[in-house]
A = this chain, B = another copy of it.
C-alpha cells in the first residue's frame, strides 16, 4: 500500500445481494422512501418548490426546507437507480421539473427567499441558501449519473455560475462563506461528475476564505461570521479541534478532505487528519455519534461524553461517515473504515425505527425515564426525547437516511492499482471493471466469516481486519491484511465474533467503571422491559456464556447472560452501609439499534462488569 489515492467504487457498480443490509435496503425502498415523501408532502415541503407561497397560506417555506426535499430526491434517485419503479420515477421527475421551472432567470432557487425575502438573497449568513444549493447539486449529480440526462445538473450549473458572479466576482453578498457548510462538498461532486474546474475553484474559494476574516478583523463586514459555531474562527488549515455545530463541522471536513485528495494539498490533509483524530479520540460516543451538546448542536470539550444528555444528531454521524470515506481515499487505514462501520451499525441504524417509519434527530446513548423532566420541570438539564418521531419540523435527518441506505455500496470497496480493498463486509457482487467481478459472501454481522472471490483475473486483496476484533490471526498494515487472490479461488477470512466488553479511557468520566457490550460491530443495550428497572445497578459477569436468541417481540438478535443486582429491600433508605447482598439474574441484551421500539423505556449501554 502507499499513500496514493484509492479509487472509489461507486455503489452503482455494487449490488448488495442478501444478508443484513439487503433487508435494510429493502425496508428503505419499500417503506422509508415513501414514508418520508408522505410526511414532506403533508407538511408542504414539495408544494413549496412551486415558490408560490403567500402570506396567509399554510406551510410557510422555511429556509432549510429545500434541503430536505433535495436529500429525499437524491435518495429516491439512488433507490430508483438500483430498483427502477415508474411510480418513484414520476415523483423524481416532477420534483426536478418543479425545481427547473421555478429557478429564477439568474439560476437562483430557494423556496423561502423567493417567497418571503427577495431582498435578502445572499444577505443572511445563517439562512442556509448555499446549504440548500449544495443539496440540490448532490441530487443533480445523482440524477445525471443515474440517467445521463443533463437538464438538472445543467440547471445547477447555472445556479453555480450565479453564485460565482455574486460571491467571487461582484462580492456584493452579505457574507463571504456559507453559514452552514455543505456546498463545498457538493461542488466537488459536481466537479467529479462534469470535470468542469469552476466547481473545484468555487469549492476552494469557500474553503480558503473560511475563517480568514473573523469579525474582529473586518470592520466593513456587517454580518455575523458565526465564528466557532460555523468553523469560521480560523483558516481551515489552522483548525486543530472539532468545534461548533457538529453537522456543519463534518460537512466542512468532508469537503476539506476531498479537496486535499483532489489537489494534493498536504497542509489541508494534515488538518483533516488532526480534526479526524480530535473527533474520534476525544469526542465520539461509542455508537459513532458525535456532537455532545444540544446547545448549538455542537461539539464541546474533549471527553464530554455524558450519555444521558447526549445530543448526537443523526446527520452528524452520517457526516462523520462522509468525512471518514474521504480520508480513506487518501490513506488505506482502518481507523477510517472502522469509524464508518461503528457509525453504520450503531448510530445510523439506531436512528430509524425497526418499521422504517420514524427517526431520531438526537440519538439517546442512555435513557432513564424517571429522570426525564422535559417539559416545565425544574431539572437544569435538557433531557432528550426518548422516542423516534415520524415528523420533525427540522427534518434534516430522515432524508439523510433515505440517501445513505440505498448507496451503501459506496462504502464496500475501492481499488489502488491491482489491489482491491474491502472495507465493509456486506453480501454483495461488485463490478471492478475490465471484466473483473468481486463476490463477497458473508452473514456478517451474524458471524465473522467472509469469503471473497475475484472472477475474471487475479488481484491483490486488502481486507479490513475490524478494530473490534482483537484476537485475529492476520498480519495487518494499518488495519488491513493483504492477500493474493487467484481468479475464481475463494479466500475466506474469519473474525471471531464473540461477545466483547469495551471500556473508554479514564478521562471519559461518565463511563469509568463501566463497559459497553459489543458482538462484532454491533453494540448491545439493555432495556428495563427485558430486565427490570435500575439497569445501572446490574453488574454483568464478564465470564458468563452469552446465549444467542431472537427477541420474541422485536425479531432482533438477543444475548442472554448472567448478572447480579443489589438486594435493596428497605424502601425508606436512600443511603446505607455497603452491603454485599446481591441476587443473580439473567440479563437480556438487544442490539442498540433496536432500542426504544416498544415505547419509552429505561435503556443502558454502559454496564458494570465483573
A residues at B contact (CB < 8 Å): 228, 243-244, 277, 280-282, 284, 286, 292-296, 298-304, 306, 309, 311, 368, 370-371, 373, 377-382, 468, 470, 500-509, 512-516, 533-534, 536-537, 539, 542, 565-566, 568, 572-579, 608-609
Contact = CB atoms under 8 A, between A and B. Distances in A.
Contact of A577 (B280, B293, B500): B500
Contacts of A565: 506
Contact of A370 (B303, B380, B574): B303
A512 B537 contact: yes
Given A244-B378, A309-B380, A378-B295, A501 B577 contact: yes
Given A286-B575, A500-B577, A568-B505, A378 B539 contact: no
Contact of A293 (B281, B284, B311, B380): B380
Taking chain A's interface residues, is the majority helix, strand, or loop, or is none over half, making it mixed? loop
A380 B294 contact: yes
Contacts of A506: 533-534, 536-537, 565-566, 568
Given A506-B536, A512-B534, A373 B572 contact: no
A581 to B, nearest CB: 11
A130 B244 CA distance: 46
12 contacts: A277-B572, A286-B575, A295-B379, A301-B370, A304-B371, A371-B509, A470-B577, A500-B577, A503-B578, A504-B574, A506-B537, A507-B533
A103 to B, nearest CB: 37
Contacts of A568: 505-506
Contact of A303 (B277, B280, B302, B371): B371
A463 to B, nearest CB: 20
Given A534-B512, A608-B513, A505 B574 contact: yes
A169 B316 CA distance: 64
Given A370-B303, A378-B295, A536-B512, A503 B309 contact: no
Contacts of A286: 575
B300 A377 contact: yes
A578 B609 contact: yes
A378 B296 contact: yes
A281 B574 contact: yes
Contacts of A309: 380-381
A610 B370 CA distance: 29
Name the residue among A300, A377, A380, A514 with the largest chain B CB count within 10 angstroms. A380
Given A370-B507, A509-B536, A515 B301 contact: no
A342 to B, nearest CB: 9
A262 B304 CA distance: 52
A280 to B, nearest CB: 7
A507 B370 CA distance: 9
Contact of A502 (B243, B382, B575): B575
Name the residue among A228, A306, A371, A609 with the largest chain B CB count within 10 angstroms. A371
Contacts of A576: 502-503, 505
A504 B62 CA distance: 49
Given A296-B378, A503-B578, 5 more contacts: A243-B378, A311-B380, A505-B573, A508-B574, A513-B537
A371 B578 CA distance: 29
A610 to B, nearest CB: 9
Nearest to A244: B378
Which 8 interchain pairs have the tightest Cβ spacing?
A506-B534, A512-B536, A506-B537, A298-B378, A501-B578, A295-B380, A294-B380, A513-B608
A382 B542 CA distance: 36
Name the residue among A539, A566, A574 with the largest chain B CB count within 10 angstroms. A574
A364 to B, nearest CB: 14
A543 B163 CA distance: 71
Contacts of A282: 574
B502 A577 contact: yes
A449 B373 CA distance: 46
A536 B296 CA distance: 28
A482 to B, nearest CB: 23
B380 A301 contact: no
B281 A573 contact: yes
A522 to B, nearest CB: 14
Contacts of A573: 281, 505
Contacts of A281: 572-574
Contacts of A381: 306, 309, 380-381
A302 B370 CA distance: 8
A292 B311 CA distance: 22
A232 to B, nearest CB: 15
Nearest to A509: B536
Contacts of A515: 578
Contacts of A575: 286, 502-505, 516
A321 to B, nearest CB: 17
Contacts of A468: 577
B513 A579 contact: no
A453 to B, nearest CB: 31
Nearest to A578: B501
A512 to B, nearest CB: 4
A533 B508 CA distance: 12
Nearest to A579: B503
B536 A368 contact: no
A408 to B, nearest CB: 24
A497 to B, nearest CB: 13
Given A506-B565, A536-B506, A574 B300 contact: no
Contacts of A536: 506, 509, 512-513
